Amino acid sequence: MAEASEGSTLAMKTVPHSETTTPSAISKLMSLVISDDDLLVEILIRLPDYRCVVQCGLVCKRWFSLIFRCGLYFSHAFNHHHRQKRQLSGSNPLPYTIFLTNPLRHGHMFLTSYDTTTVNLFSKKSKILHGEKRVQQSDDHRSYLEFLGLQDPMIISSCDDLLLVRIGRESRYIICNPLTKQWFALPQRPRSYFNSYGLVCKPNSTTTSSCCKKLGLHYCNCTINFRVVLIGYSKTRRELVTTTFSSETGQWNKSSFFFPLFRWFSWPLTAYACNGILYWPLCQCTWQGILALNPFKDEAEEGRCRLIRLPDEIPSPEDDIFLFARLGVVQGRLRLSEFEPYSHRWSLKTWELNDLSRCDNDHDHGGGDDADWLLVHDVEVKKADKLIVGFFLGLHPEDGDVIFFICNLPRGSRESGGDRDTGESGFYRYHVKRDSFEKICDVPYRDFMLFKYCRSVFTIVHPWLPTKIPELPCV
């Protein structure tokens, strides 16, 4: 062993230390890094968190300019790298925030009232971002948006970590990032009546195609070119009318097109944005299908608007479908969950849309009508025997095995504290694999039934670097 050790020592001496770590070699390396912006970006985007990014931005003016003055490019590259890394490694989900708003039912129309109950559900990580706020009720969404300094802000759509906000009953619309407090007002839109709204960001075609190959169709959104879509009827109610705002032109554009299912009795307030496409559930008393609209395609372009059929297994109940089924976006994939509550058990099913056109916005795969639905959950909820009156609220944006409900314990039960008049109601997080309910917060019993008509569920997911809203050409 002594000889081996000595030989090793001699071998090490054959390579002079000065030849491997000379100051001149280090100087050449640093000179290359400092002079090559592309190489420097590739190094900086591999930093573990935003705090390290800020610290590196203080090294010199060049680094500061590259990180903050070219913030759009750097933030996209940083988020893109870490999103790939997380999805390949299966690490912890990103922080998220969920907003729930109660519409008041009036005939066949569901109107949004400014004094209805709104609840913010903050994830554990998201509470840190929002100053450790507790789950609150009443008009807490107004205080959440108080940085706007405007009266009666109402959230009407969301995409990634951006919100589309309507101001009062006026035709004023604002896009904001509630974490960075950055916002801007859209130009005055054409006067008309709209039933629903949608905010959607466009996936970068080059990066998204490569991500689909590397990540197996996992979520990746690397650009913030966006569209705001306002949708309604023509006077004859035989055509859909869309008014679309483009971040590239800074202008509104109005168009109309014939769609076979034009007599809809009710609309959700907002669409579901997923990979550059807006999805609306079409319903009367039951769902008729899903309207998919790609606002990044021209009006005459094939595949701009299409109807997606529901899974064959989904029933058509006589009651309001919004009580028993929800659309949602989970890590960039559109999902449809449906549950059937019985006296002692619930049946829960979840499908995922396998729409290949999500990786190529310039090509239409079969018009979308034959898009496949993949069944990902088909379970009997056995742990619901102590809960009654379960209403479906929404899907977890980062965990496909978690679904949100609002439930009520039986009156007079031990779990409800023996109150025979009110029972105990609250928001619950259901874990499919564990078949367990976890209570998030209490809900006053007087407000419990109002959430039966909760059609407005807004979700924002906070990336590693917050999205910076670009300057618009005409704003």
Query: What is the three-state SS of 237-272?
Result: CCEEEEEEEECCCCCEEEEEEECCCCCCCECCCECE
Query: Does residue 314 sit within a domain?
Result: yes
Q: Are residues 75 and 196 in the same domain?
A: no
Q: Are residues 178 and 317 in the same domain?
A: yes
Query: Does residue 252 sit within a domain?
Result: yes
Residue ending a domain, among 66, 89, 112, is: 89
Q: Are residues 393 and 277 in the same domain?
A: yes
Q: Distance between CA 276 and CA 355 in Å, rounded?
A: 12
Query: Does residue 317 sit within a domain?
Result: yes
Q: Distance between CA 47 and CA 103 in Å, rounded?
A: 44
Q: Distance between CA 325 and CA 330 in Å, rounded?
A: 15
Q: Are residues 278 and 386 in the same domain?
A: yes
Q: Are residues 58 and 81 in the same domain?
A: yes
Query: Does residue 118 sit within a domain?
Result: yes
Residue ending a domain, among 73, 89, 105, is: 89
Q: Distance between CA 247 and CA 317 in Å, rounded?
A: 41
What are the residues facing 106 on neighbouring strands?
A: 109
Q: Are residues 236 and 112 in the same domain?
A: yes
Q: Are residues 129 and 272 in the same domain?
A: yes
Token pair belonging to 15: 């390579």
Q: Are residues 273 and 301 in the same domain?
A: yes
pTM confidence score: 0.75
Q: Are residues 171 and 50 in the same domain?
A: no
Here the CATH number for the domain that contains residue 333 is 2.120.10
Query: Does residue 3 sit within a domain?
Result: no
Q: Are residues 184 and 216 in the same domain?
A: yes
Domain that holds residue 367: 96-461
Instruction: Per-residue pLDDT tens, the chain, 475 aa: give them.
Output: 444 444 433 333 444 444 445 566 656 656 665 567 778 888 888 888 777 888 888 888 888 887 876 656 777 788 778 777 776 666 667 788 887 765 544 322 222 333 334 455 556 666 666 655 444 444 445 567 888 888 778 888 999 889 998 887 667 899 998 888 889 899 988 777 777 889 998 865 444 444 444 444 344 544 578 999 998 877 666 677 889 999 888 999 988 877 665 555 456 667 899 988 999 887 665 667 788 999 998 877 887 888 888 887 776 544 555 667 888 999 888 999 888 776 566 788 999 998 654 444 443 433 445 468 999 999 888 765 566 666 777 888 888 899 888 877 655 444 444 444 445 677 888 899 888 888 887 776 666 666 666 667 788 888 877 887 877 775 5
Query: Could you tell me where the beta strands, DSSP code E, fall in 72-211?
Result: 96-101, 103-106, 109-112, 118-122, 153-159, 162-167, 173-177, 182-185, 196-201
Start-to-end CA distance of the chain, whole Å, equals 76
Query: Does residue 19 sit within a domain?
Result: no
Residue ending a domain, among 44, 61, 89, is: 89
3-state SS assignment for residue 355? coil
Q: Distance between CA 119 and CA 426 in Å, rounded?
A: 11
Query: Does residue 471 sit within a domain?
Result: no
Q: Are residues 116 and 245 in the same domain?
A: yes
CA dihedral 471, 34, 56, 95 (to 10 degrees): 50
Q: Distance between CA 81 and CA 321 in Å, rounded?
A: 39
Query: Does residue 73 sit within a domain?
Result: yes
Q: Distance between CA 392 and CA 320 in Å, rounded?
A: 12
Q: Are residues 403 and 351 in the same domain?
A: yes
Q: Distance between CA 188 and CA 251 in Å, rounded?
A: 9
Work out how many domains the chain is built from and give that number: 2
